[in-house]
Structure 1
Amino acid sequence: MAGMLGNAYLWVKAAHLIFVIFWMAGLFMLPRYLVYHQEALAGAGGDAALWVEREHKIRTIILTPAMIVVWVLGLLLAANAGLFSGGAGLGWLHLKLLLVVILTGYHGWAVGYARKLKAGKPTLTGRRLRMINEVPAVLVTFIVILAIVQPF
């Protein structure tokens, strides 16, 4: 499936997968950091400021740059597959892109919740926050299945 990318296709695909792994690592870590940050707010210790710094670093060094690269390379791969030229049999890709949009929204929510915690204004219980942490795992499970199996 070289398409418009020619011999670069496998390199672009490999880079896309590498940055997906980086993005997912960040999406697994940041929500866990949010739990610890929220617990630090409830405690008497001064750890909350440390969590603000940690959240900022993971966001600016790993999470957001990886997401941007994932989107750029993913759209290149989608174009290569014929998404923008009306290629047939790409229903799986449409659904995959929808799930990636939702995952991107989750990324934005996590960044926004970090800002709430920085301001000392948590709005979720610890239990609910822990449950929300599972969203990326569920979404990436379906995304991988769609990308590998291409069921429709």
Structure 2
Amino acid sequence: MMAEKATSAREGGKARAKAYLSIAVVVALALLAWWFDPAWLYEWLKVLHVVAVISWMVGLFYLPRLFVYHADAEAGGEPAATFVVMEQRLVKVIMAPAMMVSWAVGLWLAWSGFGFQGTWLWIKIAGVIGLTVFHVFLSRSARRFAAGENTMTARQWRMANEVPTVLMIVVIIMVIIKPFS
């Protein structure tokens, strides 16, 4: 059974154009804010960073959970096709943009707020690199699921779901406690 497309090519083109326009506006506003460097910019960028990180972490927690159910679904069946759509949209629409914003704003905050100084900051960055590696692993796994080439069991996906939790705990400790200041 072939899965029906949720949107037409025309609707997809409109959505793509809106997304590109939104990105252009955000980049232009970011450049203006960077150029003028108002006093309020740093605090608002921290807000943006936290929102982006939360969005990214939601995806890092949810995608392996989808994989748990997808691994148990009958290959080629309707549930498996639905999981493929859900997984691809989660990666492309939520996780990838949230990761990019987290990195871009986080690096700016590390530079402007701390001058990349502090062992705690470098441990935090190492944790974020770990999250990024896990993100890439999940993205590739979503493509493998879409191609019908998953090699992991539902139990293995449940265990993989713990990876972002451990890395998140390390990052939060470094940000709040700063044990190596």
Q: Same fold (TM over 0.5)?
A: yes
Alignment check: 8 A CA contact 1:26 1:62 kept? yes
Residue 37 of structure 1 pairs with residue 70 of structure 2: yes
Alignment check: 8 A CA contact 1:92 1:147 kept? yes
Q: 1:136 and 1:5, CA in 2 relative to 1: closer, same or farther beyond 3 A?
A: farther
Residue 27 of structure 1 pairs with residue 60 of structure 2: yes
Distance in 1 (alpha carbons) for counterparts of 2:77 and 2:40: 55
Q: Which has the larger radius of gyration?
A: 2
Counterparts of 1:139-150 in structure 2, within 5 Å, are 139-150=167-178
Aligned to 2:127: 99
User: What's the offset of the Cα at 1:124?
Assistant: 1.4
Alignment check: 8 A CA contact 1:96 1:147 kept? yes
Structure 2 counterpart of 1:54, one-letter code: M
Write out per-residue CA displacement over residues 54-109 of structure 1, whole angstroms, 9 at most, x where no aligned residue: 011111111110000000000001101111xxx3xx10000110110010000000
Aligned to 1:66: 98
Aligned to 1:116: 144
Aligned to 1:125: 153
Distance in 1 (alpha carbons) for counterparts of 2:128 and 2:38: 22
Write out per-residue CA displacement over residues 28-70 of structure 1, whole angstroms, 9 at most, x where no aligned residue: 111111111111136x842111111001111111111000000
Structure 1 residue runs of 5 or longer lacking an equivalent are none
Question: How well do the aligned residues superpose, as a CA RMSD in angstroms?
Answer: 1.6
Alignment check: 8 A CA contact 1:22 1:63 kept? yes
Structure 2 counterpart of 1:79, one-letter code: W
Counterparts of 1:51-62 in structure 2, within 5 Å, are 51-62=83-94
User: What's the offset of the Cα at 1:133?
Assistant: 0.7
Alignment check: 8 A CA contact 2:60 2:135 kept? yes
Alignment check: 8 A CA contact 1:27 1:63 kept? yes
User: What's the offset of the Cα at 1:5?
Assistant: 7.2
Where has structure 1 moved over 4 Å in runs of 4 or more?
none
| Alignment equivalent of 1:136, drawn from 157, 164, 173 | 164
Structure 2 residue runs of 5 or longer lacking an equivalent are 1-36
